[in-house]
Structure 1
Amino acid sequence: MSTTTLDVNIMGQIYTLACPADEQAALLAAVREVDTEMCAIRDMGKVRARERIAVLAALNLAHSLIESRNANKAAGASAQASLAFEEDAQAVAQLTRQLDDALGAEGKLL
């Protein structure tokens, strides 16, 4: 796997970064996210120090990532619950059919 270097601009400063060649697009997307977040914090005017802006941007991005993960977990849990409910409904229907068969035509449950 070959490594490539990229010069990127984050909040007006150039950084030289190395990454695997096949991950270049993902790195550039990450750079855009970080730059956007840092510039937004800087443009609010309350924070001036680049290091503090970087920490706040990292916290904001980490918070967004955690929220996204939690939403995915909730969606997965909901899908699992729905699947379990469907399986339970099928099991109840099967059991009802078996009981109906056992009781015969005179004693149908449903």
Structure 2
Amino acid sequence: MKQMEVTIMGQSYLLGCPEGGESTLKNAVSQVDREMSAIRDAGKVKARERIAVLAALNLAYQLAEGPATAAAAAVAAAPATETVPAELEALIRRLDEALGHDGQLL
């Protein structure tokens, strides 16, 4: 298995990648980076762990909606000035309550 260094939201990660999967991994990293950056740039969430959880939930929801919706979302980057929907606000509040003041997931 090959290792690739990638950057997500300015932080470097060393990831394992199967031979021939470099392009797929780069696309996945780009999608995660776009999603996390959009959440951070919206200004409502500061903790990297919370941003990661919200991004994961957004991406999982897009996948659950169906392949066409997920593919369309992967292509479009959310603008930084976009307002946060009420459902996302509620999710942020629930995450804040669950995580408390320490910002730790575990």
What TM bracket, shorter-length normalisation? 0.5 to 0.7
Q: What is the match of residue 54 of structure 2?
A: 56
Describe how 1:5-84 pairs up with structure 2 within 5 A.
5-69=3-67
Cα distance in 2, alignment partners of residues 69 and 35 from structure 1: 20
Q: Write the letter of the residue equivalent to 2:37.
A: C
Q: State the Cα RMSD in Å.
A: 1.5
What SS class does the counterpart of residue 47 from structure 1 fall into?
Answer: coil
Letter in 2 for 1:16: L
Q: Secondary structure at the match of 2:17?
A: strand
Give 1:69 deviation, angstroms.
5.0
Shift of 1:7: 0.6
Give percent identity, aligned residues only: 57
Q: Secondary structure at the match of 1:22?
A: coil
Q: 1 or 2 for the larger relative contact order (CA 8 Å, sep ≥6)?
A: 2
* Distance in 2, Cα, partners of 1:60 & 1:15: 21
Kindly indicate which of the two structures has a greater share of residues assigned to helix.
1
Whose radius of gyration is greater, 1 or 2? Answer: 1
User: Please, which runs of 5 or more residues in structure 1 have no aligned partner?
Assistant: 72-110
Q: CA deviation at 1:22?
A: 1.3
Q: Distance in 1 between matches of 2:51 and 2:59?
A: 12
Runs of 4+ in structure 1 off by over 3 angstroms are none
Query: Displacement, 1:26?
Result: 0.6
* Number of aligned residues: 69
State TM-score, norm by structure 2. 0.62
The TM-score, its normalising length taken from structure 1, stands at: 0.59
Kindly tell me: are residues 33 and 70 of structure 1, through their superposed partners in 2, closer, same or farther at Cα, counting changes over 3 Å? closer
Q: Classify 1:70/1:6 alpha carbon distance in 2 versus 1 (closer, same or farther; 3 Å).
A: closer
- Residues 52-82 of structure 1 show CA distances to partners (whole Å, capped at 9, x for unaligned) of 00000000000000001597xxxxxxxxxxx
Classify 1:18/1:65 alpha carbon distance in 2 versus 1 (closer, same or farther; 3 Å): same
